[in-house]
Amino acid sequence: MKSSRITIKDIARIAEVVPSTVSAVLNGKEKSARISSALSDKIKKIADDMGYQPNSMAVSLRTGKSRIIGLIVENISNPFFALLAKELEDEIYKYHYRILYCSTENNDEKGAGQIKMLYNRQADGFIIAPSSGMNKSIKQLMQTKVPIVLIDRYFPELEVASTLVDNYKGVELGMKHLIEKGYKNIGFISVDINQAHMTEREIAYRNELELAGIKPNEKFQLKINYTIENKKEAIKKFLKENSALDAVFFATNYLCIAGLEAIADLEIQIPTQLAVICFDDHDLFHLFSPKITAVSQPIAEIAKSAVKLLVNQFDTKKYPVRSKEQILLAPKLIVRASS
């Protein structure tokens, strides 16, 4: 690659065409400009050989589009969000867009700042797994008419497109499995956040107990603040105080990982002394002995449906009104040795 920036004029000179022809080819408009496939291929090869890189700022100013999608999630290092981000990146790339990642760490103020930053960067659309207090920021973003899709969690009061896993169904599947196996003293460990997806998981837990004729025991439920660093110790204390438990349902994979450490420290045998199940699968659960039963979310399907909802909003002629569609995907229970 040359040290100076390669321009469209440089490519046009070598291809022996006018710059507008090169511009049409590199912007995918060769058919509408009636440029032959042979010439189009020639121009693309020259551009590739010369190491041409479009000036993204110039393209944005000229077209009004940055070709950037802002992705805001809870924590990009969380295996669920990391895998989802990769699937989203691969899927959105098919439409010639790129993704900028941000993690809120469940901090509403941080999430609001990320929305402003990405909007100022002229992001063409947003895919957001919001923290519990980001409804105001998202409502303000909706007023700009920029396309938005919520993933993993949502705000019932906001009419915005979303793609979600059926959280209630996932816990329902897991609880029915435990109850059918004969477990009755089932604990539920979740995150202490006021969000619809976590609330739905908790409601399913309690409803399934009641349907089985088991009265929910408040002592058997633990809600852990997301910001607590030593979640293992909180879980150890909970397990010590509730020795009657014969099974425990973890509402997220990172809580389950902390829980497995706590269980090991207490020398509790799985599943003979305590059965374990988790909402969200994790690679570690395949390696742990015994392997951990989990409710698996269809990550590839989440990504595809989210991108579809987003891309549909770009076509304002075909879709003149902001999408309010909610796609609800089915989870899958993977039964392993821990239950």
Confidence of residue 194 (pLDDT cuts 50, 70, 90): confident
C-alpha angle 154/224/261, rounded to 5°? 115
Phi and psi (nearest 5°) for 155?
A: -115, 110
| pLDDT at res. 321 | 57
Average pLDDT in the 215-233 region? 93
| pLDDT at res. 56 | 56
Confidence of residue 334 (pLDDT cuts 50, 70, 90): very high
Mean pLDDT of the chain: 91
Q: Is 247 exposed, middle or buried (0-12, 13-18, 19+ CB in 10 A)?
A: buried
Q: What is the tens place of the pLDDT at every residue in 232-280?
A: 999 999 999 999 999 999 999 999 999 999 999 999 999 999 999 999 9
| pLDDT at res. 95 | 87
Residue 93 has pLDDT above 80, yes or no: yes
CA 46/CA 57 separation, integer angstroms:
23
Domain 8-54: give its CATH architecture: Orthogonal Bundle (1.10)
Residue 3 has pLDDT above 70, yes or no: no
Whether 124 and 98 have beta carbons less than 8 Å apart is answered as: no
| pLDDT at res. 31 | 85
| pLDDT at res. 55 | 62
| pLDDT at res. 79 | 86
> Which region among 27-36, 315-324, 326-335 has the lowest average model confidence (pLDDT)?
315-324
Average pLDDT in the 216-227 region? 94
Closest CA to 250 of 263, 265, 241: 263
* DSSP type of residue 148: E
Residue type, 321: V
* DSSP type of residue 181: T
pTM of the model: 0.80
Residue 63 has pLDDT above 80, yes or no: no
Whether the ω angle into residue 271 lies within 30 degrees of 0, i.e. cis, is yes
Domain with CATH 3.40.50.2300 in the chain: 64-164+300-328, 167-296
Confidence of residue 116 (pLDDT cuts 50, 70, 90): very high
At residue 115, the 3 state secondary structure works out as helix
More confident residue, 137 or 65: 137
Sign of CA dihedral 299, 81, 79, 277: negative
Confidence of residue 178 (pLDDT cuts 50, 70, 90): very high
Residue 136 has pLDDT above 70, yes or no: yes
Domain with CATH 1.10.260 in the chain: 8-54
More confident residue, 42 or 65: 42
Whether 239 and 268 have beta carbons less than 8 Å apart is answered as: yes
At residue 11, the 3 state secondary structure works out as helix
Confidence of residue 2 (pLDDT cuts 50, 70, 90): very low
Q: Read out DSSP for 53-106?
A: ---HHHHHHHHS---EEEEEES-TTSHHHHHHHHHHHHHHHTTT-EEEEEE-TT
What CATH topology corresponds to 167-296? Rossmann fold (3.40.50)
Whether 183 and 275 have beta carbons less than 8 Å apart is answered as: yes
Give the rounded percent of residues in the chain with a pLDDT score beyond 90: 71
Whether 268 and 294 have beta carbons less than 8 Å apart is answered as: no
Average pLDDT in the 9-15 region? 92
| pLDDT at res. 100 | 93
Residue 1 has pLDDT above 50, yes or no: no
What CATH topology corresponds to 64-164+300-328? Rossmann fold (3.40.50)
Q: Read out DSSP for 256-307?
A: HHHHHHHHHHTT--TTTT-EEEEES--HHHHHSSSPPEEEE--HHHHHHHHH
Q: What is the tens place of the pLDDT at every residue in 141-174?
A: 999 889 999 999 999 889 999 999 999 999 999 9
Q: Which residues touch 186 (CB under 8 Å, ≥6 apart)? A: 175, 178, 179, 205, 209, 214, 220, 245, 246, 247, 248, 249
